[in-house]
Structure 1
Amino acid sequence: MATVIFFHSVYGLRPLEHEAVERAQAAGHKAFAPDLYEGLIARSIEEGFEFKDEIGWQTICERAQWALAGLPASTVLAGFSMGAGVASNLWPKRERTAGILFLHGIAPIAGNARKGLPLQLHLAEPDPFEPEEDVAAWRQAAGKSGTAAEIFRYPGGGGHLYTDASLPDYDAKAADLTWKRVIDFLDAIDAKG
């Protein structure tokens, strides 16, 4: 079984992350979703950014590092939107990670990325927070990194956090396909041992 940690979006730890954990566990994997806001849950994206700024990026990343204590070095780093940035921040220190999952957000690729490391990016198309030129630059960087990057775009009516059923962004069809691909990704990591 693979072990995966899901870092939440700027909204805080919500049903989206709990659902991700449940889906991964139902597929036979170990999954965790730490609360990097220590109980704060935003009612709007604006409030979420206020929480993020009040807590501070360094503190958020320190809490994420602490949440990894005791988990295997191979733990898959996954993040939703802001959480992708958290996963990216930890990645250089987790050279033995078995994989990287960026959901709803692009984030820097570690300079010490292992050749062939499985990496998936899932984005709405278009995504109001990820301009096309940034996505194109990320795609180019991923190609040069040597990682085994897969980029999945989901056109249609969904918005930035299209897997979150509690938001107007939600797109059921795109969400179902994303979760299928995420579970297949974790299954493939598990099969590699």
Structure 2
Amino acid sequence: MDIMLFHSVHGPRPAVHDAADRLRAAGHRVHVPDLFDGQTAETVEEGRALKDKIGKEELLRRAVLAAAPYSERGLLYAGFSLGGSVAQTLALGDTKARGLLLLHGTSDIAENASVDELPVQLHVADPDPFESHDWLTAWYLRMRQTGADVEIYRYPGAGHLYTDPGLPDYDEPAAEETWRIALAFIASL
């Protein structure tokens, strides 16, 4: 399966490439676009400054351009935090999307969004400073209204980007459980 994997606000860090290698080892073709032109951020604040400097519209334009050569085959869109937001936006706009894997992040949903039983899996810390319980409940209900088939996995006590071993949020047991479940999800598609 072709997977379009988007990085977090920290940029294309080693953990993103390690995740892509993990997916490739499971037999998938993984594409990792660099939405930040090679820049990385050590902190969320630095990453947000990079994101804001580039701008939301430009980030989405770059993501669409990266996905376009592969979208005819039917992509699984995936992303970490900010990258999850980008992946969600693209998946909801792509009638050939095969699935959506969200790690640590979601996004607003357009009023006219509609999909035909799109498989969606979300992995998120519990609690998560960027994905409150109220937000996730509303997001889940809205995603279901679009026609998505949604599963949410919560990881108590984990930090926001708990799958990145280079960040303070890292939680190895939660990360390994996430990858076990995510790989099974992808295999089921």
Bin for the TM-score computed over the shorter chain: over 0.9
| In 2, Cα distance between equivalents of 1:64 and 1:28 | 23
| In 2, Cα distance between equivalents of 1:43 and 1:173 | 23
User: Does 2:26 match 1:24?
Assistant: no
| In 2, Cα distance between equivalents of 1:109 and 1:96 | 18
Deviation, 1:143, is: 3.0
Question: Please, what TM-score do these two structures have when normalized by structure 1?
Answer: 0.91
Deviation, 1:116, is: 1.8
Mapping 1:150-161, distance limit 5 Å: 150-156=151-157, 158-161=158-161
Identical pairs, percent: 43
The AA in structure 2 aligned to 1:65 is V
| In 2, Cα distance between equivalents of 1:17 and 1:76 | 16
Q: 1:56 to 1:47 in 2, by over 3 A?
A: same
Q: Any idea what the Cα deviations from partners look like across 1:31-56, whole Å, max 9, x if unmatched?
A: 11110000111121111000001111
| In 1, Cα distance between equivalents of 2:143 and 2:65 | 28
Partner of 2:187: 187
Aligned-pair RMSD on alpha carbons?
1.4
Q: 1:89 to 1:82 in 2, by over 3 A?
A: same
Is the CA contact (8 Å cut-off) linking 2:117 and 2:148 kept in structure 1? yes
The runs of at least 4 aligned residues of structure 1 exceeding 4 Å deviation read none
- Classify the secondary structure of the residue corresponding to 1:120: strand
| In 2, Cα distance between equivalents of 1:51 and 1:102 | 21
Question: Please, what TM-score do these two structures have when normalized by structure 2?
Answer: 0.93
| In 2, Cα distance between equivalents of 1:144 and 1:92 | 12
- Classify the secondary structure of the residue corresponding to 1:160: coil
Deviation, 1:139, is: 2.0
Structure 2: tracts of 5 or more residues without a match: none
> Which piece of structure 1 moves more, 54-63 or 84-93?
84-93
| In 1, Cα distance between equivalents of 2:87 and 2:30 | 15
User: Does 2:67 match 1:100?
Assistant: no
- Classify the secondary structure of the residue corresponding to 2:143: helix
Q: 1:89 to 1:142 in 2, by over 3 A?
A: closer
